[in-house]
């Protein structure tokens, strides 16, 4: 085995392990991810210097440049308007440094045939998340104590059992907002009939979401087929067949829901009432809830500086964290407050243009059965971020690289690296 082959395998192992950990244990164990990230950046950086990785779409680099430019502008606005330096630097780190790290990772992935591995990656992550969720519940009920408390604390393995539902705070459950829509969309679009692995991953993921009582994940499970159909409609990809698949899914789901409700009512009416109360609670408008108070405060702050906003690092009277008062759960309310009308308009035009380019590519690609589910996952993360600060973390920021990943993927039978026979 030659030096180049060893380096290629080491790089591939580093990137694969890093991606698996991003999806399995997001927002935790950064000290474990860091060595793999460092190896990946070093190896890919050498490859970029040697010319081993191609920019296959002219808009690829421009995507990261424009996004990071907007981040820098609103960091400067934040400093001008008196935001704390630490708050501005945190935004700079997330939206500038992290985005360019993902540029490096994305250029590597897009130059390799990742289509072969995405299903396995997301299914294994779903099974891993399900295993962790099941252990957390069993440990809460039976006091197993198999996992060191420091590891449990790192993943926020906190379980509460209430009337009609269980609630979990595991940070990795949030990643199901991407994985479940992706897997469900893949099943709907899969043509070869090889769906066993996809079904296995989806079933485990949905059970995990039910155990955790994550309403946004369950909502996205219901919404994902519709998003799939809408993307297919705009990309002219087998609309009628996809429509039939979507209708079939909703018919089966409705049948299961009615039968399940009937059986559960016979067995334990109190359990059903508690579960329904938990689900329907999402529609209640509680003006004193933390999120409602944040939303009201952010909108009021926006009205006071509506043109360009407060800049990154701006604060309001409602404080979510005494240590970091510039952080909020509501991504888009905060973005409106930070960026103002002008920033929101720029960002809206930016993503509209790039989504248009991506849909245009999907129309011509032979990999639509992968690209469309990836876009379904992308839109699902955006929806989930409305009430969760997912896009303020390194791991969830991967979602913003899905569009450039698709754009930069070359439509070839083999990867560019393999075709070229290059080393790292």
What string of pLDDT tens digits covers the 424 residues of the chain? Answer: 566 788 888 899 999 999 999 999 998 999 999 999 999 999 999 999 988 898 999 899 999 999 999 999 999 999 999 999 999 999 999 999 999 999 999 999 999 888 888 999 999 999 999 999 888 888 878 878 788 788 877 887 877 776 656 777 788 899 999 999 999 999 998 866 568 889 999 999 999 998 887 889 999 999 999 999 999 988 875 677 888 889 999 999 899 888 877 777 776 676 666 666 666 666 666 676 788 889 999 999 999 999 999 999 999 988 878 888 999 989 999 999 999 999 999 999 999 999 999 999 998 888 888 999 999 999 999 999 998 899 999 999 999 999 999 999 987 644 444 444 444 3
pLDDT value at residue 78: 96
Do 384 and 216 form a contact (C-beta atoms < 8 A)? yes
Asked if the structure places residue 72 within a domain, the reply is no
Q: Which residues contact 166 (CB under 8 A, 6 or more apart)?
A: 137, 159, 160, 211, 212, 213
Asked if the structure places residue 342 within a domain, the reply is no
Bridge-partner residues for 159, per DSSP? Answer: 168
Residue found under tokens 């994550």: 214
Taking the C-alpha atoms of residue 34 and residue 333, their distance in angstroms, rounded to an integer, is 32
Asked if the structure places residue 147 within a domain, the reply is yes
For 193: left if phi > 0, alpha if psi spans -120 to 50, otherwise beta; the answer is left
Least Cα distance to 208 among 184, 178, 172, 249 occurs for: 172
Taking the C-alpha atoms of residue 88 and residue 69, their distance in angstroms, rounded to an integer, is 14
Q: Is 190 exposed, middle or buried (0-12, 13-18, 19+ CB in 10 A)?
A: middle
pLDDT value at residue 126: 95
Q: Is 396 exposed, middle or buried (0-12, 13-18, 19+ CB in 10 A)?
A: buried
Tokens of 100: 């360019």
pLDDT value at residue 379: 97
Longest CA–CA span in the chain (Å) reads 68
Asked if the structure places residue 409 within a domain, the reply is no
CA angle 372, 377, 382 (to 5 degrees): 125
pTM of the model as a whole: 0.91
Residue found under tokens 């248009």: 356
Asked if the structure places residue 360 within a domain, the reply is no
Asked if the structure places residue 275 within a domain, the reply is yes
Asked if the structure places residue 215 within a domain, the reply is yes
pLDDT value at residue 2: 67
pLDDT value at residue 169: 77
pLDDT value at residue 265: 74
Domain of 251?
A: 118-284
Per the structure, the count of domains in the chain is 1
pLDDT value at residue 424: 39
Q: Supply φ then ψ for residue 415, to 5 degrees.
A: -70, 155
pLDDT value at residue 165: 62
Q: Which residues contact 45 (CB under 8 A, 6 or more apart)?
A: 104
pLDDT value at residue 129: 94
Asked if the structure places residue 241 within a domain, the reply is yes
């Amino acid at each position: 085995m030659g030096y180049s082959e060893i380096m290629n395998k080491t790089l591939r192992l580093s990137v694969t392990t890093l991606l698996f950990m991003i999806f399995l244990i997001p927002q935790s164990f950064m000290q474990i991810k860091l060595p793999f990230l460092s190896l990946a950046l070093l190896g890919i950086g050498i490859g970029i210097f040697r010319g081993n990785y191609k920019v296959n779409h002219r808009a690829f680099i421009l995507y990261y440049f424009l996004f990071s430019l907007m981040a820098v502008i609103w960091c400067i606005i934040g400093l001008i308007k008196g935001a704390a330096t630490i708050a501005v630097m945190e935004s700079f780190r997330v939206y500038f440094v992290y985005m360019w790290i993902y540029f490096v990772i994305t250029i590597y992935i897009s130059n390799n045939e990742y289509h072969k591995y995405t299903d396995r990656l997301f299914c294994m992550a779903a099974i891993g998340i399900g295993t962790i969720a099941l252990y957390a519940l069993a440990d809460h009920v039976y006091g197993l104590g198999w996992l060191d408390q420091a590891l449990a604390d790192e993943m926020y393995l906190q379980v509460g059992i209430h009337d009609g539902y269980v609630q979990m705070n595991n940070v990795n459950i949030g990643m199901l907002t991407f994985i479940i829509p992706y897997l469900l969309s893949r099943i709907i679009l899969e043509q070869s009939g090889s769906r066993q692995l996809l079904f296995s991953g989806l079933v485990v993921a949905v059970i995990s979401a039910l155990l955790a009582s994550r309403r946004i994940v369950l909502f996205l499970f219901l919404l994902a087929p519709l998003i799939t159909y809408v993307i297919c409609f705009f990309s002219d990809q087998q609309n009628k067949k996809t429509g039939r698949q979507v209708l079939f899914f909703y018919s089966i789901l409705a049948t299961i829901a009615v039968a399940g409700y009937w059986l559960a009512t016979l067995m334990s009416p109190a359990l059903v009432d508690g579960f329904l109360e938990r689900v329907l609670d999402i529609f209640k408008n509680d003006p004193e809830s933390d999120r409602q108070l944040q939303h009201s405060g952010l909108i009021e702050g926006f009205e006071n500086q509506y043109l360009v906003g407060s800049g990154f690092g701006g604060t309001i009277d409602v404080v979510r964290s005494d240590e970091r008062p510039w952080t909020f759960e509501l991504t888009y309310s905060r973005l409106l407050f930070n960026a103002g009308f002008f920033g929101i308009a720029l960002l809206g035009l930016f993503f509209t243009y790039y989504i248009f380019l991506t849909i245009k590519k999907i129309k011509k690609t032979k990999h639509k059965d992968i690209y469309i589910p990836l876009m379904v996952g992308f839109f699902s993360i955006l929806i989930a971020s409305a009430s969760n600060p997912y896009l303020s973390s390194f791991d969830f920021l991967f979602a913003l690289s899905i569009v450039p990943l698709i754009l930069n993927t070359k439509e070839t039978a083999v990867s560019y690296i393999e075709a070229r026979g290059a080393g790292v």
